[in-house]
Amino acid sequence: MKKLLQLTVNTVPREVAVHAHATLGEVLREELGLTGTKIGCGEGDCGACTVLLDGEPVNSCLVLALQASGREVTTIEGLADGEGLHPVQAAFVQAGAIQCGFCSPGMILSATALLRRMPAPSELDVRTALSGNLCRCTGYQKIVEATLGAARDLATEGEQASSRRRP
Amino acid sequence: MSRHRILGTRAPRLDAAAKATGRAVYTDDISLPGMLHGAILQSPVAHARILSIDTTRAKALPGVEAVLTAADVPDRLFGVSPARYDENVLAIEKVLYVGDEVAAVAAVNLETAREALALIDVQYEPLPLLLNAREALAEGAIQIHPIYEGNVSGRVQQEFGDVDAAREQATVICSGRLDSEMQDAAFLEPQVAIAEFDAQGNLTLTSSTQSVHYIQRTVAMVLGMPVGKVRVIKPAVGGGFGPKAACSTMELLTCLLARASKKPVKIAFTREQVFLHSRSRHKFLHDMTLGADADGKLLFLDHEALLDGGAYASFGIATVYYAGSLLGGPYKLPNMRYSGTRSVTNKPTCGAQRGHGGVIARGLFERLLDEVAEKLNLDPVQLRLQNMMEAGDVTCNDLNMSSLGMRECIEAVRDGSGWIEKKGQLPRGHGIGVACGFFVSGAGYPIYRSETFHSTAEIKLQEDGGTVLLRTAAADIGQGTDTALAMIAAETLGVELDHVRVESGDTDLSVDLGAYSSRQTLMSGHAVREAAEKVRAQVLEVVSERLNVAADDLRIEGGLVLPRDGVNLDFAALRTQYIKEHRGWSDNPGEGPLTFREASRLAFLVRGTIVATGGYKPPLLGGKFKGAAVGTSPAYGCSAQAVELSVDLETGQVTVHRVTDAHDCGQAINLTSVEGQMQGSVSMGLGEALFEQVRFDAKGRCLNANLADYKIPTALDMPHMDCIVVETHEPNGPYGAKEVGEGAIMPTIPAVLNALYDATGIRFEKLPLTAQQIATALRTGKPVPAESAQPDNIGYCKIDG
Amino acid sequence: MAETTALTVIVNGEPHRAAVPLTLLELLEQLGEPIDKAVIEHNGRYVRRPELDGVDLSDGDRVEVILPAFGG
């Protein structure tokens, strides 16, 4: 019999009946219509299904949906604020870091999570943080460049915001 | 300074924002009303006779709406080449590998479908297994496939010039071997398809495919339907690299289950099924002998190859052909002899994967070049330069290098990598190696014998003017074709890129053979250019008539219609008319020059809908495009790379520090996309060189059918890559453009082999170059020996004079 | 009255009538096949270019002409 799952997805409280064995990835895609999260292997090896669970990147194919009960999930659809692109998304688009795009949602979320906890990462920090997200198209170089570029953009935005706040 | 306004820029891709936000739709994201889920029962044994199949219990399971076995589906054979139609949708008498499809089910949900599979009883009678080419070709071996006598599914033997005579002249002769294992394309998006019949019996198949055209034809043929009643669409596709270029049993089963259940059916592969389906890189054994004179001039190549192709033919006859033919260039090589054999075995079927049959062969050839250089005490770069072909040269096997920036590529790589300071100067365990390669820009023939256009395209101006609708069946599978073709259309028309909208990957839109053989930039690009030129001409004709100015005195640039200097263009009345038609709009043209929007609106008012088509056929088939009427392809892209690496002398672990990569793509359409293909090719090449192998146990079961145990490079494995784009202006390509998607993988494996020699003094001969293999070789001082391509007992004879 | 003997050869899956005697090379030339670019198979066996005129055709023989440069 299904159980009622209550959780927050992209800042919105959601409620859905799920089987005990349903994964978070399946529920996001099939019950909540959030198909931006991709399933590349279903076994936690490729990272395409990465979402943020209470801000931490997880492979949603390995998390049981019920484990997310009462918690906050951010999917790729929840990253941008309003109409525009999140700075990490914009950086990926500009840098040519997206080819087939199947790894991109997971990659962008992993990169975003990194920058939130480490605003000025080194290249090695970036590669390490993204090492769980496989990409077969790009060779990662433009992904790394995009992430470092986004870090700089976010730092500049932050400086501009704080300088506007000064009296 | 680019002579083009849009070509050669770094325009962001048209679909990038959609992919970055999760809005891009891939096949598994699609759900249709009433859709059923399909599942496939696959053989757990590698070779067996099917004694019986009982589906009674499966059919009785609530929620199951269709169950198919061979008795329920057409027995029409299909495959890739019509000369090799060797696959049935479902196994009839025998299963030939672990994964061979035996039955299929459609049910209300995936769980029920899988439960139904478990309720199908199949009785197998095991047969002897043949798990490698040598066993399969041995005298007395059981015949695996009814069509392939002696388990030979393809053989090519060719001789150009006179190898035996050239051998007499050679001062230096180097022989060697290289073998590899079966590899997997490992695209991130597993195959998935959805089939739906409408009430009139028209079928729409949505699939993660590289070629809507070939899938459409195969589905129509197997289902016994007219081609016009079958529509194939590809939405966003998460990578292909070759295996998705031909129709699969899975795609056919979605259609057959949809027909049987009268509902839409979706089947999605698991990652394990991706490995079992394979159609990826063959296992290759190569033996080569390369000879040169005392000055280092290459005289001959004698080459034998043995391919282990798995259970069916797939692209195999082309694979075994390319494994030999792609060594005819880029060096002057007057005498070449090749004998290639492809065997079938009881393993997943291998097909075409990036670089097709040329990749492993290039690995050995470029290693032998270094060996020749060493024997003659010549710098390996120098040896390559002195033997390099020039643009306009033709290889001994008739490949016409209409443009060839090989010299520029190798010099750029030599200078950019620090080759001169580093070669032979690095400490033990640290090395640098170079290699070259090239590839076709589209195959000269379609897969089936035909005079068909290889690409057609349609451009329609939206009647209100200003928006250019490009319609093409070409497939963007991540390489950026939609954007590249939009850029060609925009450049040709003289409008800004954001005036162009692309509809693609749909058989209703045009004929396009699809994304394989690195053909679309050149072939689809030509078709698009032609359509755009015709549309442009129509618009300018109308403007010229209305405004009484010669059409030749008009140009379209940046979305504006501008007259030649000194010519007056009085379009005030036209503008007034346009503004009157658009009362209430806030973006009407103001004071500036005549806009394309106004001009194309006028064209509609005068002539009706403005639409034009373009098409491309290679010159060999009598097409009107330039190019010598010889050769495999209209043009060839080429590449050089230097790899710098170090090896841990204890563990054998390789760390790649840097790759310097130069590729001649003729004319970069989108510079960022060209670099992206170069970098992606290097990453696949490094993976194939260092880690990638599909492994089997003694029962033919795949041991590493997952992305943890089949290791592809991660962000931590990839070094920094310096990419240099060389542009030589290919006369047979649109705006001088030619390929980059596959030529760029050719030098990687041999550059690694040559760098390892520089680092360790050992000439490795087995791929992948795992730490284990390297450590063993370091201990013994000798490479682990490769298997020979020369099989025993198959009646092979060396071609004697 | 002289009687011409004819045979039927299956070429690329289609039956083709020809007069005997006929070598494989003659058949291919009659049909205008691009011999130099193709892989020629006779009853499932690959035949090298220099050997084409040494193969005498019999009734019911199967000939495949494959242009292998079809998919890189």
Copy the structure tokens of residue A73: 């999930």
CA distances from residue B531 to A149, B466, B495, B617 in whole angstroms, order as listed: 39, 16, 14, 14
Please report where in the chains the tokens 């820029």 appear, as a residue. Answer: B9
Name the nearest CA neighbour of B485 among B100, B1, B13, B23. Answer: B13
Mark yes or no for CB contact B715/A75 under 8 Å: no
Name the nearest CA neighbour of B344 among B305, B309, B307. Answer: B309
Mark yes or no for CB contact B19/A135 under 8 Å: no
Residue B189: closest CA among chain A residues belongs to which residue?
Answer: A40
Residues, chain B:
801
Q: What is the mean pLDDT of residues A115-121?
A: 97
CA B318 distance to own-chain centroid: 13
| Subunit partners of chain A (3 or more CB pairs within 8 A) | B
- Measured over the CA atoms of residue B318, residue B320, residue B323 and residue B325, the dihedral's sign is negative
**Does the predicted interface ipTM exceed a cut of 0.90?**
yes
Closest approach of chain A CAs to the CA of B183, in angstroms? 14
Mutate to test the interface with B, among C40, C48, C64, C67 (most CBs of B within 10 A): C67
B453-616 shares the fold of B153-184+280-389+402-444+624-780: yes
Q: Is A46 on the interface with B (CB under 8 A)?
A: yes
Question: Could you write out the DSSP letters of every residue in C35-64?
Answer: GGG-EEEETTEEE-GGGGGG-B--TT-EEE
Task: Report pLDDT digits (tens) over B297-345.
Answer: 999 999 999 999 999 999 999 999 999 999 999 999 999 999 999 999 9
CB B353 within 8 A of CB B241: yes
Interface of C with B in 28-67 (CB under 8 A): 36, 39, 41, 44-46, 48-49, 64-67
CATH number belonging to the domain at C6-66, selected among 3.10.105.10, 3.20.10.10, 3.10.20.30, 1.10.3720.10:
3.10.20.30
Mark yes or no for CB contact B315/C64 under 8 Å: no
CB B312 within 8 A of CB B87: yes
Mutate to test the interface with C, among B155, B213, B523, B638 (most CBs of C within 10 A): B155
CB B638 within 8 A of CB B664: yes
pLDDT at B288 exceeding the cut of 50: yes
E strands within B282-327? 283-292, 298-308
Residue ranges per structural domain of chain B = 36-127+188-239+244-277, 153-184+280-389+402-444+624-780, 453-616
Residue B85: closest CA among chain C residues belongs to which residue?
Answer: C13
Closest CB to B714 among A41, A85, A131: A131
Contacts of C42 in chain B (CB under 8 A): none
pLDDT at B628 exceeding the cut of 70: no
Contacts of B706 in chain A (CB under 8 A): 41, 43, 45
- Preceding amide of B619 cis, omega within 30: no
Q: What pLDDT is stored for residue C34 in this prediction?
A: 87
Instruction: Count CB pairs under 8 A between chains B and C.
Output: 80
pLDDT at B461 exceeding the cut of 50: yes
Q: Which residues contact B738 (CB under 8 A, 6 or more apart)?
A: B403, B441, B521, B522, B635, B636, B637, B664, B665, B666, B730, B732
Supply φ then ψ for residue B38, to 5 degrees: -105, 155
E strands within A34-145? 50-53, 56-59, 72-74
Q: Is B349 on the interface with C (CB under 8 A)?
A: no
Q: What is the mean pLDDT of residues B287-304?
A: 98
Contacts of B449 in chain C (CB under 8 A): 12, 65, 67
Name the nearest CA neighbour of B611 among B721, B457, B764. Answer: B457
Q: What pLDDT is stored for residue B526 in this prediction?
A: 97
Name the nearest CA neighbour of B444 among B374, B506, B523, B562. Answer: B523
Residue B483: closest CA among chain A residues belongs to which residue?
Answer: A99
Residue ranges per structural domain of chain C = 6-66
Task: Report pLDDT digits (tens) over B28-55.
Answer: 999 999 999 999 999 999 999 999 999 9
* CATH number attached to the domain at B453-616: 3.30.365.10
Mutate to test the interface with A, among B21, B241, B482 (most CBs of A within 10 A): B21
C-alpha to C-alpha distance for A80 and A58, rounded to whole angstroms? 19
Task: Report pLDDT digits (tens) over B720-731.
Answer: 999 999 999 999
Q: Is A20 on the interface with B (CB under 8 A)?
A: no
Topology of domain B36-127+188-239+244-277 in CATH is: Aldehyde Oxidoreductase; domain 3 (3.90.1170)
Residue B550: count of CB within 10 angstroms of its CB: 11
Task: Report pLDDT digits (tens) over B677-716.
Answer: 999 999 999 999 999 999 999 999 999 999 999 999 999 9
Contacts of B82 in chain C (CB under 8 A): 12-13
Beta-bridge partner residues of B658: B644, B720
- Preceding amide of C21 cis, omega within 30: yes
Name the nearest CA neighbour of B360 among B758, B801, B789. Answer: B789
Closest CB to C69 among B84, B355, B443: B443
Interface of A with B in 86-125 (CB under 8 A): 89-90, 92-96, 98-105, 108
CA distances from residue B331 to B33, B383, B385, B394 in whole angstroms, order as listed: 58, 10, 9, 10
Q: What pLDDT is stored for residue B522 in this prediction?
A: 96
Contacts of B358 in chain C (CB under 8 A): 72
**Global confidence as pTM:** 0.96
Average pLDDT, chain B: 95
Name the nearest CA neighbour of B766 among B350, B776, B289. Answer: B776
Q: Which residues contact B370 (CB under 8 A, 6 or more apart)?
A: B380, B433, B754, B757
pLDDT at A146 exceeding the cut of 90: yes
Mark yes or no for CB contact B443/C72 under 8 Å: yes
Residue A142: closest CA among chain B residues belongs to which residue?
Answer: B676
Closest CB to C72 among B83, B149, B440: B440
CA distances from residue B776 to B290, B366, B382 in whole angstroms, order as listed: 28, 24, 32
Contacts of A92 in chain B (CB under 8 A): 16, 20
Q: Do chains C and A touch (3 or more CB pairs under 8 A)?
A: no
Q: Which residues contact A58 (CB under 8 A, 6 or more apart)?
A: A24, A50, A51, A52
Q: Is B12 on the interface with A (CB under 8 A)?
A: yes
Contacts of B25 in chain A (CB under 8 A): 35
Closest CB to C72 among B80, B157, B322: B322
Q: Is B655 on the interface with A (CB under 8 A)?
A: no
Please report where in the chains the tokens 């390489």 appear, as a residue. Answer: B479
Task: Report pLDDT digits (tens) over B143-170.
Answer: 999 999 999 999 999 999 999 999 999 9
pLDDT bin (cut points 50, 70, 90) of residue B230 is very high
Topology of domain B153-184+280-389+402-444+624-780 in CATH is: Aldehyde Oxidoreductase; domain 4 (3.30.365)
Q: What pLDDT is stored for residue B618 in this prediction?
A: 87
